[in-house]
Structure 1
Amino acid sequence: MSEFCLVLCTCPDLESARNIARQSVEQGLAACVNIIPGLESVYQWRGELQTDSEVQLVSKTYKPKLDALYKLVVGLHPYDEPEWLIIEIADGSPTYLEWIKSCTK
């Protein structure tokens, strides 16, 4: 089992995405957060079909930081129920993975 993972989280706009990304990295909870604008999401919410423009965050982190990262995201996020999906990193460049670990200690 890997010590590293990616966390996916969508935001409603660049301002909230940048705030979450900056604080995640500044607090050592993620080594890097990619901000990908231009998503269109179609989903069900409270029994109604929704279509919204969103911004995708992809956070690279060390698993022991997940709980703290989750608390930060939920505390800053404007959504009632923010996306929080964890994808294990099966393998990667040893030096890159070590960089993630060193940034999140």
Structure 2
Amino acid sequence: MDRVTKLASQRAVVIFSMSSCCMCHTVTRLFRELGVNPTVVELDEDPRGKEMEKALARLLGRSPAVPAVFIGGRLAGSTDKVMSLHLSGNLVPLLRNAGALWV
């Protein structure tokens, strides 16, 4: 859990992902299209990925645990939560407050 927390707090937007997950790619693309350069941690390419995946599953209360999006060091959620924030108009202000967007 410490590694997840540390990585999540190092940048404005951190996405824990799996390289073969289509929803992970979708969420990452959404952020990039909004002008955000997220840090993407590919759990299947990290030596401690399984450990982090278990920690994320506990945080999210579900498995699979990806994508798991952190904004400003706080867990924003998975695909459904991120899309809900975006559609309600709350994602961009959240990104601005975290310093991920300047516009």
Calculate the TM-score normalised by the size of structure 1.
Answer: 0.33
> Could you say which structure has the greater relative contact order, defined with CA pairs below 8 angstroms and 6 or more residues apart?
1
Identify the structure with the greater strand proportion: 1
Identify the structure with the greater helix proportion: 2
Look at both structures and tell me which one has the larger radius of gyration over its CA atoms.
1
